Amino acid sequence: MAGGEGPWTTGLRLLRPRLLLAGLNPIATDAVGVALMGFNPMDPAGAGTFRNVDNMLELAEAASVGTRDLSQIEVIGEEIANLACPFGPLGAPTEI
C-alpha cells in the first residue's frame, strides 16, 4: 500500500511488489527496504525522503545500532535496482 501513512494523507493505492526481505540487522534490513520502495535511506531528516519526519535510520546509525549505507550492506540475491517498486512520494498532508 502506498500513500497510507496515516489519516492525514490522500491518494492511497495498492502495490504488489511480491518481495520478501529478511536480514540479521534491523537497521540494514530497513535501509534495504527503504531503497526497494524507491527512497534514499541516506537522506537526512528534513530533506528528500524524510522531508517531514526524522530519519530513524540515521538516528539508529548514530547510536551504532547498524548502518543505513547501502554500500556497506551485503545483499544476497538480485540487485536492489532490479527489484525496486517505487512507492512514490508521501501524499500531501491534510487537516485532521
Domain residue spans in the chain? 26-83
Contact between 2 and 12 under an 8 Å Cβ cutoff? The reply is yes
Q: For 12-61, how does the pLDDT look when each residue is reduced to its tens digit (9 = 90+)?
A: 667 778 889 999 999 999 999 999 988 999 999 988 888 888 999 999 99
User: Which residue intervals of 16-55 are DSSP H helices?
Assistant: 26-36
| Predicted model pTM | 0.79
- Grid coordinates representing 92 are 500531501
Residue 72, pLDDT score: 97
Residue 94, pLDDT score: 45
